[in-house]
Chain A
Amino acid sequence: MPGLGTSYGRGGATSSARDLQDADCIVIMGSNFAENHPVGFRFVLRARDKGAKVLHIDPRFTRTSAMSSDYVPMRSGTDIVFLGALINYALQNDKYFKEYVVNYTNAPFIIKEEYQDTEDLEGIFSGFDPEKKTYDNSSWAYEREEVVLPEGEPANLSERLAREKLVGRPKRDETLQHPRSVFQLMKKHYARYTPEMVEEICGTSKEEFLMVAETVTANSTPERTTTFCYAMGWTQHTYGVQTIRAGAILQGLLGNMGRPGGGILALRGHANVQGATDLSTLWNSLPGYLDMPAKAREHDTLEDFLRAQMRPTSFWQNYPKYLISLLKAWYGDAATAANDFGYDAIPKTLGNHSHYKMFEDAYNGVIKGMMVIGQNPAVGGQNASFHRKALANLDWLVVKDPFLIETATFWYEAPEVKNGTVKAEDIGTEVFYLPSTVFAETEGSFTNTSRLLQTKEKAADPPGDCRSDLWFTYELGKKLKDLYKDSTAKRDWGIKNLTWDYEPDVNPRFKIQEPSEHKIIKEINGYDIATGAPLPGFGDLQDDGSTACGCWIYTGVLPEETVNRAANREGDDYQYLNWGFAWPANRRNLYNRASARPDGKPWSERKKYIWWDEAEQKWTGFDVPDFAATKAPDTPAVPGGVGLAAQSGKDPFLMLPDGVIQLFAPAGLADGPLPTHYEPPDTPVSTNLLYPNQTFSPTAVIFDHLPNNKVHGANNSDYPFVITTYRVTEHHLSGAMTRWLPWLAELMPELFLEISPELASELGVQNKDYVTVETARGKIEAKALVTKRMRPLKVEGKMVHTVGMPIHWGYSGISTGSVPNDLSAIVADPNVFIHSSKAFTCNVKKGRLPGGVA
């Protein structure tokens, strides 16, 4: 999500699936939309039926390709070359949206003289430390004017801290001619990303590329808009964040952001990825995208932390209000100004604790116990056999799931136990399997891919001792609080004082009572501590301890005690503002101020969406304006102003420090201010044609110290084929919610490997023959599915074959098979530590594994 966040200000998808029907062109890249989000795909088809162009750019021909206007093949993992070439095409041919770019992006901003580009340094940016494999980004900063300090006394803590951090405004050149303007630096950076280079690296013909470039730019004008849709095909790379950045830059240059039928629709993979991130069960964040304090940063005290994390010239200037309200929600009356509102009780991260590091710590015995609730790492994790080794090294493991999934059964059903390599008796892990409810047996809400919260109700009690995840966490919390109730140790202050009253609102219909959803959603929404009344919006949150709020971006979902807007069910055929609640503040299309010109008038009648109503002196339109409601377009930025006062009436991207799109990201990313092509850690080519001295990303995180986790490198003749993994419509993730369902198991009964007819003929393989697939990490078997959907591409003067395999299988359930994720390596992007499962290499041979499943 930092890809979108650093570019536009928020990590969420910028539009809704519904908004696609207003697009004139839809580019689907890195997503098999039709098969993986089938019902949302209706809106793509509606657009197509109204005359929109739908382009599918992907290594595989899928049902998405079949339903698109055009399918354009490419080699997996080379998206940045393709997107960089689109950026270059728009810049070289004057096909960018000039008025939008000058006013709504940082294209005019001047970068420091010290900055050096990958063009200067053969594939790396200035500030690289080759030993640590990290960048010092100080040379990527803007040149700034003298700082102006405000007069008078600050009104509150947030204002005081913002003033301490104020810097001068960035220098600009609105003619875009300054050689160190972002515009000119970008032009230079992408100059060699040409159609010819696309043909060489991606394997896409020059003609096909130019068709895409012409179609996209022709449909990105004041009258027309283009949308991009992406999914894991963009994200799951060691440079995943930079791929999204490349798309984000392009959409900024083309002026498609904040406009109807524009934007970037990130297609999340699970019912509540968005909510789980928002609220947040992720190692590095607290609810509402507040940061976890870190030992390595200046986070010693609450004030240190707030000073370090707040951004004084954006909406994030309010950071202290959100964090202090969170601490009040968690520690109640015990949180006071005198004890920093309990800040010390929040643990400080000691380094990286992301998924793969966490399993490394489990493998090494640092982590003793693990609770796995609704995930299946024994087959779902990359290099899944390493995950099973880590599970076998735990002292104890809780698996809570509706079915006996592989993570619960690894100690007797895993391939290495079945084939005798590991004995069950030698595995010391104490395992608790707790049977779970399914979605229909609990109430609660999901936040969909368009940031829309929708509630569901409980239909029936679960069977036997099955309990909801919420019940488990609440009861566990009660027991732990009881165990610590008499402790006077300082380190137990947090658990002792944690507010923990969610006793059920008893529903006589059911025997099993759930923790009170109302109490939880009220705490998430926020309330006034003195009156107990819910707060209608995040503008009401304070930094003095007078408000409590669990997740500020969700404030407004419960504006009154009896009104839960996530349960609103009045649909309509436009933006359905009365169906569910979209964060923030029920806005459906983010940054929609940009749908109007700088003067507040719509860019065109056809693409009218939000505009300034001169008579009423407020913003109005078809959505909730993503802007201060009465801030006129001609409002100047206040010199020395903090928060939104530092931004003018024409700055639509209010979460970012200067209110405009960051085409160039001066901070916030570990691997560079501009997306740059590198090859995946396993690649079929011998070099990076763009930067021959820098084949791989210099900052990619490679876990090569883990057992059986070697990468293949460039042009490794033992592993000549590219393999890409994916999902099918009938299964979900590791299969935990589908391979136990007879209907779905019958519809899609077994694992397969998609192979082109050309490769099948080379290997002497017929359709439905067994093949073994091997990497340095593992060896599995599957049935061959010989299909023209897979096509070899000419790259580096040779034919490169790609094979494809769905990820859903494992050794438990009613449809079983080899574990596809045993093949991939644990490698990661340096920003978010996402793995690389879309482009690695393998060997394929005819025949089964000896003795069946390895």
Chain B
Amino acid sequence: MITRRDFLKRTGAVTAGATIAAVGGINVKPVQAQITKIKLQVKEGRQVPSVCPYCSVGCGMIITESEGKITNIEGNPDSPINLGSLCPKGAAALQLAVNDERPEKVLYRAPHSTSWEEKPLDWAMERIAQKIKEDRDNSFIETQDGKLVNVNPALASLGGSTLENEWNYLHAKLMRGLGVVNVENHARI
């Protein structure tokens, strides 16, 4: 029988050990098996492994979902980084997801307007794409000082260092594809 804990571990690679031997040239065995006695608080619902979105320590989390709703978030006792514990921010992460303050619709403010209006998501996506194209086509710099530069100076992108690797990669690719040089995130260090 596959236990929940086994399931969470198996979501990774079953051949991990062999891979390390192949890639790193050596095979390193754990010096000491980890023993955790912490038990999850929640028994009901589907549980998925996650990682805390706040600081950079990378604490493991287990999220419990029931009927499409997130019902609990707690530290992953199997993680060698946090052994199940979380700080106050991580421990409050449930409220990041389940929170009445979260807007669920696109809000639009026309130039000089004093109020928001709700808009369909597709409308906003279409308009943003059109604006990017319009500005790009009007401002594009093909050459400067006799050099080919292919720069779109009109668009800027400011990302967040709390966003996933996959987004950072794809977004960097799209921005460079559009000729954007103004690309930044929090990591100005």
Contacts and interface: CB of A to CB of B under 8 A. Distances in A.
Nearest to A481: B177
Given A432-B128, A477-B174, A347 B149 contact: yes
A723 B95 CA distance: 33
B40 interface: no
A428 B111 CA distance: 4
B81 A39 contact: yes
A737 B54 contact: yes
A358 B178 CA distance: 17
Contacts of B130: 483
A620 B26 contact: yes
B176 A347 contact: yes
Contacts of B108: 430-433
B128 A271 contact: no
B183 to A, nearest CB: 5
A370 interface: yes
Given A276-B168, A440-B73, A520-B166, A466 B104 contact: yes
Interface residues of B, number: 138
B12 A271 contact: no
A543 interface: no
Contact of A622 (B28, B34, B114, B186): B28
Residue among B20, B25, B112, B169 with most chain A CB within 10 A: B169
Interface string A483-510: 1100000110011001000100000000
A4 B149 CA distance: 31
A586 B20 contact: yes
B182 A741 contact: no
Interface stretch (A81-89, A135-143, A373-381, A771-779): A373-381
Nearest to A266: B189
B179 A347 contact: yes
Interface string A457-475: 1111101111111101111
A551 B168 CA distance: 11
A623 interface: yes
A754 interface: no
A623 B147 CA distance: 47
B170 A457 contact: no
A366 B153 contact: yes
A39 B152 contact: no
A275 B63 CA distance: 23
Interface stretch (A281-289, A690-698, A704-712): A281-289
A127 B108 CA distance: 53
Contacts of A151: none
B116 to A, nearest CB: 7
Given A273-B161, A276-B185, A39 B26 contact: no
Interface in B117-154: 120-121, 124-133, 135, 139-142, 144-145, 147-154
Interface in A361-404: 361-362, 366-375, 377, 395-396, 398, 402-404
A1 B187 CA distance: 9
Contacts of A281: 157, 159, 168, 171-172, 175, 183-185
B4 interface: no
B13 A564 contact: yes
B2 interface: no
Contacts of B112: 424-428
B80 A571 contact: yes
B21 to A, nearest CB: 10
Nearest to B121: A465
A71 interface: no
A476 interface: yes
A479 B12 contact: no
B189 A37 contact: no
A348 B150 contact: yes
Contacts of A358: 156, 158, 182, 184
A629 B25 CA distance: 6
B43 interface: no
A330 B125 CA distance: 23
Contact of B158 (A300, A370, A474): A370
Interface in B1-55: 8-9, 11-13, 15-17, 19-20, 22-26, 28, 30-34, 46, 48-55
A487 B34 CA distance: 59
A424 B49 CA distance: 45
A449 B8 CA distance: 23
Interface stretch (A576-584, A657-665, A844-852): A576-584
A791 B102 CA distance: 42
Nearest to A482: B129
Interface stretch (A639-647, A676-684, A725-733, A762-770): A725-733
Contacts of B51: 271, 439, 445-446, 448, 454-456
Interface string B57-82: 11111011100111001000011111
A272 interface: yes
Nearest to A426: B112
Nearest to A442: B164
Interface in A739-762: 740-744, 747
Contacts of B188: 282, 354-355, 832-835
B111 A430 contact: yes
Interface of B: 8-9, 11-13, 15-17, 19-20, 22-26, 28, 30-34, 46, 48-61, 63-65, 68-70, 73, 78-83, 85-90, 92-93, 95-97, 99, 101-114, 116, 120-121, 124-133, 135, 139-142, 144-145, 147-189
14 contacts: A39-B90, A268-B189, A276-B187, A278-B165, A279-B169, A286-B176, A371-B155, A404-B107, A438-B97, A439-B50, A479-B126, A480-B133, A572-B32, A578-B30
Given A295-B147, A435-B103, A732-B89, 19 more contacts: A269-B55, A269-B186, A270-B56, A271-B58, A272-B162, A283-B183, A353-B183, A355-B188, A368-B139, A369-B132, A370-B156, A463-B104, A477-B170, A491-B140, A568-B12, A573-B31, A623-B28, A737-B53, A747-B88
